[in-house]
Amino acid sequence: MAVYVTGHKNPDTDSVTAAIAYAELLKAQGTDAIASMQGELNPETQAVLRRFNVPAPEIMKDAAGKTVALVDHSDLKQAPDNLSADNVVAIVDHHKIGDVTTNSPIFCYVKPVGCTGTVLKQLYDVEGVAIQPKIAGLMMSAILSDTVNFKSPTCTEEDKKAVAELKTIAAVQDTDALFMEMLKAKSAIEGIPAMDLLNRDYKDFDMKGKTVGCGQLELAALDQATPAIREALYKAMQEKKAAGGQHTVLLMLTDVVKEGTELMVLSDDASMIEGAFNTKMTGNSMWIPGMMSRKKQTIPNLQKAFGC
């Protein structure tokens, strides 16, 4: 009976690519294995699979009657439905030890590193199995994603070493560029209605009797907001202001890589907003370096300007 290899519910890039990479390892060792996942691909993982030309795993939500290998989790809550102590045959993970138990001895390999991809890279090496270039690409992408391009506090030297070795196998020169591709896929805004984008993370605030609305979009790069998208966003801001009667409607286009925000402004008193951030607008927006947090940076500056 084939082993279904699966990551956790709400699959992310590590869960999906680890299922593929571990299934390939098992197959290389003579075990019939099927890569699977418990839900649809997110935009980042879609981009990664497309980038390395690997098909998506099949959807598998119910473990009843199946033989299952778990990757990227060991918690029953995150596992497929009807998983029992009789049908788990392996666990490969990098999280805390969860509540999955078994009735027989199985293979279990968990390491306190940043990504399951790193654990799998080491497992391939221990087992002496060569990693296919496209599979190396997937594992490397997962590590970049989970460690936020090595910036996460969960990132270890082992993660960095794994990427250094995997990039050679995958023949990928620039891992920063790969990370940026993933980030852009994750924060993609093209094709989404402008009002949905404005509302994605929008709040109205009371400023001494005046209402100031502020939305925020996190982007990998400002150029994701093309002139056409900006125009549509500005129209959405106008519609919102017309309907809601706000004194000011703002939209933060936050560049998470450059660490700053382009603030789009529609206000009854634009010069007051310029004053709040001590910056002049170009057209209907201003670039504010270092501004990342609406709660900790944008709103306090506005409150000060409005005399709150």
Distance separating alpha carbons of residues 33 and 126, to the nearest angstrom: 19
Please report the sign of the dihedral spanned by the C-alpha atoms of residue 199, residue 14, residue 115, residue 142: negative
Least distance in angstroms from the C-beta of 298 to its own copies: 34
Least distance in angstroms from the C-beta of 88 to its own copies: 8
Paired tokens of 66 = 């199946």
Q: Which amino acid is located at 209 in the chain?
A: G
Cα angle vertex 15, ends 11, 19, to 5°?
A: 120
Distance separating alpha carbons of residues 177 and 167, to the nearest angstrom: 12
Which lies closer to its own copies via its Cβ, residue 119 or residue 264? 119
Which lies closer to its own copies via its Cβ, residue 83 or residue 250? 83
User: CB under 8 Å to 155, separation ≥6 — which residues?
Assistant: 114, 147, 148
Q: By C-alpha distance, which of 82, 105, 66, 75 is closest to 15?
A: 75
Q: Judged by CB under 8 A, which stretch of 86-94, 209-217, 225-233, 298-306 contacts its own copies? A: 86-94
* Number of residues counted as binding its own copies (CB under 8 A): 25
Q: Judged by CB under 8 A, which stretch of 88-96, 129-137, 227-235, 283-291 contacts its own copies? A: 88-96
Least distance in angstroms from the C-beta of 108 to its own copies: 4
- Residue-by-residue DSSP string for 81-94: BT--TTTEEEEEES
Residue 284's beta-bridge partner residues? none
Least distance in angstroms from the C-beta of 2 to its own copies: 19
Which lies closer to its own copies via its Cβ, residue 103 or residue 238? 103
- Considering only 19, 91, 120, 299, the residue that binds its own copies (CB under 8 A) is 91
- Considering only 53, 55, 77, 126, the residue that binds its own copies (CB under 8 A) is 126
Which lies closer to its own copies via its Cβ, residue 112 or residue 275? 112
Which lies closer to its own copies via its Cβ, residue 128 or residue 227? 128
Q: Judging by DSSP bridges, how do beta strands 248-255 and 260-267 pair with one another?
A: antiparallel
Least distance in angstroms from the C-beta of 15 to its own copies: 15
Distance separating alpha carbons of residues 266 and 251, to the nearest angstrom: 9
- Considering only 50, 96, 203, 304, the residue that binds its own copies (CB under 8 A) is 96
Distance separating alpha carbons of residues 41 and 13, to the nearest angstrom: 8
Spell out, one character per residue from 97 to 116, where the chain touches its own copies: x when CB under 8 A holds, - when not.
xxxxxxxxxxxxxxxxx---
Q: Judged by CB under 8 A, which stretch of 84-92, 189-197, 209-217, 223-231 contacts its own copies? A: 84-92
Q: What are phi and psi of 292, to 5 degrees?
A: -125, -35
Residues that bind its own copies (CB under 8 A): 85, 88, 91, 94-113, 122, 126
